[in-house]
Structure 1
Amino acid sequence: MKSSFAFLVLSASMALPAWGAGSVDAGRLIFPVCQSCHTDPVTAPRFTPYRFNGTELLGAFQRTPQMNVYADLGTQTIGDLATYLGLPDSNDTDRLLDWGEDTFPQLLSPRRQTTGQALGYTYRFYPDTGVYVGTKDGIVWLYESRAPGASLDTIVRLGTMRSYLDQMPNNR
C-alpha cells in the first residue's frame, strides 16, 4: 500500500510544470561574473525579478550599458543563471517538508522529523515508511529505503522546489 501511494505521489509530481529548467550548476559557475560588480549574495532582493526568468534577466542586460555585453551569453547560459538566482533557501526546505507531511501523512510519518544534511542534500527520514525526502540545488528528491532493490541509484527526482512552493496555500 505504501509503495503504491509513493508511486501515485511520483506520478502526480511528474505532471508539475517544469519551472526553472536551467542548470543550477552551470548558473553557479556564471554567478561570479555578476559578483565582480554586485557583491550581494544570490538571495539579495536585487536579483528577485530575475529568479527563474531568463527573459527578464536578458532584458536587464540589454537595458544596462555596463551589462550589455552579457546579453551575448546565449539563452541557455542566461537561463542557467536565472535558475541559480531562483534557488530557494534552507528555510524553504523545512517549510516544504512541513507542508508535505501535512499533505501526505500516509507517506511522510511520523511528522516533524529532524532535518539533516548529507552529501549536499537537506533531508528528513520518516521511519514509519522508510522514506527519505530531501532537496539539493533547488530540486526535491525521494528515496524509499524499503523498496525492493533500493540503492542510492534509486533516488527519484520529484521536481523543482519552486514548483512545490508555488502550490503551498498562502505560501505557508
Structure 2
Amino acid sequence: MNLASLAALAATGSVDNGRQLYQSACLQCHGALRPNISPMLAADNPARIREAINPLSLMSTLSYLSNEDLLDIASYIARPGSNDTDRLFDWAEQQGFPDALGKSANATQEYGGYRYRYYPSARLFLGTRNGEVVMLGEGSTVPALLGTMRQYLRQMPPGR
C-alpha cells in the first residue's frame, strides 16, 4: 500500500485500537493529545505518520507499525473521545441502514462484554464484542454474527 492509498483510507481506522497503539507507541514522547501539538497534524492522515517514522531516527524504532496500525492511530488522533461501537451505531442509524434500523431511543449500553443498542422499530439489538458485530432479534437467544467491526468501519465515509 503506497502513501496515497494510505491517506485515502484514513477514516476507516479503528479508534479503539488506535487509542491502545497511541498509548503504547506514541504517548511517551508526544504526550496526551491536545490542540496544536504535532500529533494533531496526523488526524486522519496516516501517511503523515509514516513520513515522520521513516526519516527521523528517534521515530524509526516505530517502523514495525503496519499501515493498518497507522490508520488506527490517525483515526484515534482525529476522534480521541470517540469509540468504534458508537461510531458504527451512529453511522448505521443515519446512513448505513436507516430504513432497516430506525433510530434507537436508547444510548449504548453494556452487558456481558457486549456493547449494544436496542432498535424498537426493528425489534432487535445491535451489538459489538471482541471486534465482532452481532444482531439479536427479540425472542432469540443466540446472537447472529454480522461481520467484523473492521469490515463495517471500512464502509463508513471519511470523517465518521
Tell whether 2:17 aligns with 1:28.
no
Tell whether 2:146 aligns with 1:156.
yes
Alignment of structure 1 residues 1-172 onto 2, 5 Å: 20=12, 25=17, 28-29=20-21, 31-41=23-33, 46-50=38-42, 54-71=46-63, 73=64, 76=66, 79-87=68-76, 88=79, 89-90=81-82, 97-98=89-90, 100-103=92-95, 104-109=97-102, 111-118=103-110, 119=113, 121=115, 123-134=116-127, 141-146=133-138, 151-152=142-143, 154-157=144-147, 159-161=151-153, 163-166=155-158
Q: TM-score, normalised by structure 1?
A: 0.54
Give 1:116's aligned amino acid: T
Identity %: 22
Counterparts in 2 of 1:128 and 1:115: CA distance versus 1, 3 Å:
same
Alignment check: 8 A CA contact 1:98 1:112 kept: no
After TM superposition, give the deviation of residue 165 of structure 1 in Å. 4.1
Deviations 1:89-122 (A, max 9, x none): 438865764554355443213x24111231263x
After TM superposition, give the deviation of residue 136 of structure 1 in Å. 6.7
Deviations 1:52-75 (A, max 9, x none): 65543221112333212323x2x5
Counterparts in 2 of 1:141 and 1:32: CA distance versus 1, 3 Å:
same
Alignment check: 8 A CA contact 1:125 1:133 kept: yes
| Count of residues paired in the alignment | 144
Q: TM-score, normalised by structure 2?
A: 0.57
- Structure 2: gaps spanning 5 or more residues: 1-8
- Structure 1: gaps spanning 5 or more residues: 1-16
After TM superposition, give the deviation of residue 144 of structure 1 in Å. 3.6
